[in-house]
A and B are shown apart, each in its own frame.
Chain A
Amino acid sequence: MKDISLPHLNYAALAPMLILFGVACVGVLVDAFAPRKARYPIQLVVALVGLIAAFVAVVLRAGKVTAENAITAAGAVSVDKPALFLQGTLIVLGAVALLLIGERALERGGPFVAQAAITVGSDADQRQAARESGATEVFPLTIFSLSGMLLFVAANDLLTMFVALEVFSLPLYLLCALARRRRLISQEAALKYFLLGAYASAFFLFGLALLYGFAGGITFAKINESAQNGTGNITLLYAGLALVSIGLLFKAAAVPFHVWTPDVYQGAPTPVTSLMAACTKVAAFGGLLRVLYAGFDRVHWDYSPIIAAIAVLTMLVGSILAVTQTDIKRLLAYSSIANAGYLLVGVLGNSALGLSSVMFYLVAYGFTVIAAFAVITLVRDADGEATHLSRWAGLGRRSPFYATVFTVILLSFAGIPLTSGFTSKFAVFSAAGGGDQSWLVIVGVVSSMILAFPYLRVVVMMWLSEPGEQTPSVSLPGMLTSAALVIGVVITIFVGVAPQPLLHLTSEAANFIR
Chain B
Amino acid sequence: MTSALHLVAAAAAAGEVTTGEKAVFFILAPIALIGAIGMVAARNAVHSALWLVLTMLSLGVFYIVQAGPFIGMVQIIVYTGAIMMLFLFVLMLVGRDASDAVIETLRGQQAWAIVLGVGFAGLLGTGLARVVGSLKVVGLEQANADGNVQGIAALLFTKYVWVFEISSALLITAAVGAMILAHVDRSLRDGTAVMSQPERMRARFEPGSYPGPKPGPGVFATSTSIATPAKLPDGTPAQRSISPILPTRELTAAEVANKQTEGR
List the interface of chain A (C-beta within 8 A of B): 1-2, 4-7, 9, 14, 21, 24-25, 28, 31, 73-77, 114-118, 123-124, 127-128, 132, 135, 137, 140-141, 144, 147-148, 151, 159-160, 163-164, 166-167, 170-171, 173-174, 177-178, 210, 213, 216, 233, 235-236, 239
Q: For window 180-209 of chain B, which residues contact chain A by CB distance below 8 Å? A: 180-185, 188-189, 191
Q: Knowing A75-B159, A233-B134, A235-B127 touch, does A170 contact B177 (C-beta < 8 A)? A: yes
Question: How far is it, in angstroms, between the C-alpha of A237 and the C-alpha of B100 when the chains are bound?
Answer: 42
**Residue pair B146, A74 in contact (C-beta under 8 Å):** no
Question: How far is it, in angstroms, between the C-alpha of A114 and the C-alpha of B180 when the chains are bound?
Answer: 9
Inside 8 A of B157's CB, which chain A residues have their CB? Answer: 4, 6
Other CB < 8 Å A-B pairs besides A117-B183, A117-B184, 9 of them? A1-B150, A7-B161, A140-B176, A163-B166, A171-B173, A177-B181, A216-B138, A216-B139, A235-B127
Min CB distance, B88 to chain A, in Å?
21
Question: How far is it, in angstroms, between the C-alpha of A164 and the C-alpha of B173 when the chains are bound?
Answer: 13
Minimum CB distance partner of A73 in chain B: B162
Question: How far is it, in angstroms, between the C-alpha of A127 and the C-alpha of B191 when the chains are bound?
Answer: 8
A-B contact count (CB 8 A): 125
Inside 8 A of A174's CB, which chain B residues have their CB? Answer: 173, 176-177, 180-181
Inside 8 A of B138's CB, which chain A residues have their CB? Answer: 216
Q: Knowing A4-B158, A167-B173 touch, does A124 contact B163 (C-beta < 8 A)? A: no
B172 within 8 A of A: yes
Question: Mind listing 19 A-B residue pairs with CB under 8 Å?
Answer: A6-B161, A24-B172, A31-B176, A73-B161, A77-B162, A117-B182, A118-B189, A127-B191, A137-B176, A137-B180, A140-B176, A141-B177, A148-B169, A167-B167, A174-B180, A177-B181, A178-B180, A216-B138, A233-B135
Inside 8 A of B188's CB, which chain A residues have their CB? Answer: 114-115, 118, 124, 127-128, 132
Minimum CB distance partner of A77 in chain B: B162
**Residue pair B170, A166 in contact (C-beta under 8 Å):** yes
Inside 8 A of A7's CB, which chain B residues have their CB? Answer: 158-159, 161
Inside 8 A of B154's CB, which chain A residues have their CB? Answer: 2, 4
Minimum CB distance partner of A131 in chain B: B188
Minimum CB distance partner of B134 in chain A: A233
Question: How far is it, in angstroms, between the C-alpha of A74 and the C-alpha of B161 when the chains are bound?
Answer: 8
Q: Knowing A4-B157, A170-B177 touch, does A74 contact B170 (C-beta < 8 A)? A: no
Indicate which residue in B146, B159, B160, B166 contacts A164 across the interface (CB closer than 8 Å).
Answer: B166
Min CB distance, B254 to chain A, in Å?
49
**Residue pair B173, A144 in contact (C-beta under 8 Å):** yes
**Residue pair A239, B158 in contact (C-beta under 8 Å):** no
**Residue pair A2, B146 in contact (C-beta under 8 Å):** yes
**Residue pair A235, B130 in contact (C-beta under 8 Å):** yes
**Residue pair B159, A74 in contact (C-beta under 8 Å):** yes
Total residues of chain B contacting the partner, CB 8 A: 40
Question: How far is it, in angstroms, between the C-alpha of A144 and the C-alpha of B166 when the chains are bound?
Answer: 10
**Residue pair A235, B183 in contact (C-beta under 8 Å):** no
Q: For window 212-258 of chain B, which residues contact chain A by CB distance below 8 Å? A: none
Most chain-A Cβ atoms within 10 A of its Cβ — which of B154, B158, B162, B167?
A: B162
Inside 8 A of A148's CB, which chain B residues have their CB? Answer: 169
Min CB distance, A189 to chain B, in Å?
14
Indicate which residue in B124, B169, B181 contacts A239 across the interface (CB closer than 8 Å).
Answer: B124
Indicate which residue in A77, A117, A210 contacts B181 across the interface (CB closer than 8 Å).
Answer: A117
B124-151 vs A, CB cutoff 8 Å, 1 = contact: the mask equals: 1001101100110011000000110010
Inside 8 A of B160's CB, which chain A residues have their CB? Answer: 74, 76, 159
B103 within 8 A of A: no
Inside 8 A of A147's CB, which chain B residues have their CB? Answer: 169
Inside 8 A of A124's CB, which chain B residues have their CB? Answer: 184, 188-189, 191
Question: How far is it, in angstroms, between the C-alpha of A355 and the C-alpha of B139 when the chains are bound?
Answer: 37
Inside 8 A of B182's CB, which chain A residues have their CB? Answer: 117
**Residue pair A159, B163 in contact (C-beta under 8 Å):** yes
Min CB distance, B146 to chain A, in Å?
5
B179 within 8 A of A: yes
**Residue pair B170, A167 in contact (C-beta under 8 Å):** yes
B86 within 8 A of A: no
Min CB distance, A8 to chain B, in Å?
10
Indicate which residue in A14, A141, A170 contacts B170 across the interface (CB closer than 8 Å).
Answer: A170
Inside 8 A of A31's CB, which chain B residues have their CB? Answer: 176
Question: How far is it, in angstroms, between the C-alpha of A2 and the C-alpha of B154 when the chains are bound?
Answer: 9
Question: How far is it, in angstroms, between the C-alpha of A233 and the C-alpha of B167 when the chains are bound?
Answer: 31
B74 within 8 A of A: no
Indicate which residue in B134, B174, B181 contacts A116 across the interface (CB closer than 8 Å).
Answer: B181
Min CB distance, A194 to chain B, in Å?
10
Min CB distance, A407 to chain B, in Å?
38
Inside 8 A of B191's CB, which chain A residues have their CB? Answer: 123-124, 127
A-B interface, 9 closest residue pairs, ranked by CB to CB distance from nearest: A73-B162, A174-B177, A117-B184, A1-B146, A74-B159, A76-B162, A170-B173, A233-B131, A235-B131
B11 within 8 A of A: no
Inside 8 A of B170's CB, which chain A residues have their CB? Answer: 163, 166-167, 170
**Residue pair A135, B180 in contact (C-beta under 8 Å):** yes
Min CB distance, A73 to chain B, in Å?
4
Inside 8 A of B176's CB, which chain A residues have their CB? Answer: 28, 31, 137, 140-141, 174
Question: How far is it, in angstroms, between the C-alpha of A14 and the C-alpha of B180 when the chains are bound?
Answer: 30
B111-127 vs A, CB cutoff 8 Å, 1 = contact: the mask equals: 00000000000001001
Most chain-B Cβ atoms within 10 A of its Cβ — which of A132, A148, A170?
A: A170
B153 within 8 A of A: yes
Question: How far is it, in angstroms, between the C-alpha of A27 and the C-alpha of B96 when the chains are bound?
Answer: 37
**Residue pair A24, B180 in contact (C-beta under 8 Å):** no
Question: How far is it, in angstroms, between the C-alpha of A173 and the C-alpha of B153 when the chains are bound?
Answer: 32
Inside 8 A of B150's CB, which chain A residues have their CB? Answer: 1
Question: How far is it, in angstroms, between the C-alpha of A14 and the C-alpha of B158 when the chains are bound?
Answer: 16
Min CB distance, A446 to chain B, in Å?
31
